[in-house]
Amino acid sequence: MPKLLLYITMKGTWIFLIFGTDSNENRIHVHVGRKATKNYCKIWLQPKVELCKSGDLTNAEIKEVLEIAEKYKDDLIRQWNNYMSGKLRIKIIRK
């Protein structure tokens, strides 16, 4: 599960990643959770940022990760494309 972005705050770290099979889907998306997450939420990035599956996240957490995804949408899409071309480097954001 390649990590695209680590969003680090005082409350913890959100991990934005993709699965190897994600390239088979026709819409760019990310899976998001924390280190101990077993069931990641899934967020579509195109054509707009929206929730696909909530996973183990609470409503408040979903709201938070949607806001982060919206703010860093261009970076996440760039990271997706970098992964697909074999040039991925994890982006780390500290808040």
Task: Kindly report the backbone phi and psi dihedral angles of residue 43, in degrees, each rounded to the nearest multiple of 5, phi listed first.
Answer: -125, 125
Q: What is the CA radius of gyration of the chain?
A: 12
Query: What would the pLDDT profile of 58-73 be if each residue is shown by its tens digit?
Result: 999 999 999 999 999 9
Residue scoring higher pLDDT (95 or 65): 65
User: From CA 77, how far away is CA 28, in angstroms rounded?
Assistant: 7
Query: d(Cα 12, Cα 9) in Å, to the nearest integer?
Result: 5
Helix (H, G, I), strand (E, B) or coil at 71: helix
Q: Which residue has better confidence, 47 or 26?
A: 47
Token pair 């996240």: residue: 57
